[in-house]
Amino acid sequence: MKETDPTGRIDGKTRLLGLIGNPVEHTLSPDIHNTLARLCGLNLVYVPFPVESGKLGDAVRGAWALQVLGLNITVPYKQEVTAFLHSQDPLAAAVGSVNTLVREADGYKGYNTDMSGLLRAMAEDGVSLEKENVILLGAGGVGRAIAFLCAMKGAAHVWLLNRNEKRAQEVALEVNRTVGRNCVTAGNLEQWRELPKGSYLAIQATSVGLYPDVTRAVIEDSAFYGLLHTGYDLIYRPGRTRFMALCEQAGARAFNGLRMLVYQGVEAFELWNRTAVTREQAGQIYRMLSEKLTENGK
C-alpha cells in the first residue's frame, strides 16, 4: 500500500482515533495505530484521553459529537463503558468487557479485541484452545474474559485458579451457566497440586511479575511448570517474565503478551477502517514495540 507523508501531516480531512482510560500516560497504543495509519496510507491520528472517574459518559458522548471515528477503552472502564453504547458484538456482550468502540450510524458499537487479539496471537504461535486443557491463573477482569473465551472456543476444560477462591468460583459458575456445560473448575492457587495428571496450556492473567516487580511469579514451585507444554503470560513488560523463565526451565514453550497487544490493536484498526492489516505489517509493529521496550529496559 502507498504510504502517507511520513512527517505525519494533519489537515482538514484527518480522522481522529483515541484511547480512554485512567491512567493512559504509558500506553503503547499511539505507537501501534499511528504507525499502522502510515503503513496503510490512511489520514488518521490516534491520541490518548485521560478521563476522570465519573466522566466516562461525558467522554463517550463528547467523542460522538466530535465525530471521533473510534476509541479504545482501557482500565478502569472496560465494563462501565457498556452503559453508553448503542450495541455490542456477541463476544463482548458475553464476556461483559469492551475495549474497542466503532462508530456506526446511531452510536458506538462495542467490541472486545483483547480476546480476538489473543486468539490471533496464539494462532501465530501455533497454539489453539480447541480441546485443550487449560490452567488459567487469575480471575480478575482479564481472567474472567479469558475463561469465557476458552469455554466458547471449545477448550476441553479450564482450571481457574485464583488467590481469592470465592471470586474464581463466581466466575466459573457464570461461565458454566452461560455456555451450558461444566467446563470450568475453580480453586485457589495452591490447588494446582490436585490437578489430574496431564499436559496443560497455562495462561497467566495476573499482574504478578509486571515491571518493575520482575522477580516474582504467581506460582514459584518448579513442579507446577512440569505440568505444562506451553505457558502464555499476558504481561509484556518485561519481555521475559519469571513465569516464562520457569516454563522454559521445565521444558515448556513460553510466550509473553506483546503479540496479543499488537493483534488487539490490529483488530481494532481493521474494525475502524474496514481494512485488512497484513501479517507483514503486524510483524513490523511487533518488532517496533519489541525494540522500544528493549531500549527502555523493560
The Cα 129–Cα 147 span in angstroms is 11
Residue 182: its pLDDT value, please? 97
* Grid cell of 118 as nine digits: 489473543
**Which candidate in 13, 55, 78, 153 is catalytic?**
78
The Cα 46–Cα 137 span in angstroms is 33
Contacts of 296 (CB under 8 A, 6+ apart): none
Per-residue pLDDT of the chain in tens (298 residues, 90 and over written 9): 444 444 467 999 999 999 999 999 999 999 999 999 999 999 999 999 999 999 999 999 999 999 999 999 999 999 999 999 999 999 999 888 999 999 999 999 999 999 999 999 999 999 999 999 999 999 998 999 999 999 999 999 999 999 999 999 999 999 999 999 999 999 999 999 999 999 999 999 999 999 998 999 999 999 999 999 999 999 999 999 999 999 999 999 999 999 999 999 999 999 999 999 999 999 999 999 999 998 876 6
Nearest to 268 by CA among 68, 65, 71: 71
46, β-bridge pairs: 17
Structural domains in the chain, sorted by start: 15-111+259-295 (3.40.50.10860), 116-256 (3.40.50.720)
R_g over Cα of the chain: 19
The Cα 244–Cα 232 span in angstroms is 8
Question: How many residues can be counted in the chain?
Answer: 298
Contacts of 268 (CB under 8 A, 6+ apart): 33, 70, 72, 99, 100, 111, 113
47 with 30: CB under 8 angstroms? yes
Residue 294: its pLDDT value, please? 86
Contacts of 142 (CB under 8 A, 6+ apart): 114, 205, 234
Strands in 87-88's sheet, in edge-to-edge order, are 44-50, 15-21, 70-73, 100-104, 107-111, 87-88
Residue 95: its pLDDT value, please? 87
13 is catalytic: no
Residue 4: its pLDDT value, please? 44
Residue 3: its pLDDT value, please? 45
Q: Which pTM was predicted?
A: 0.92
Residue 297: its pLDDT value, please? 64
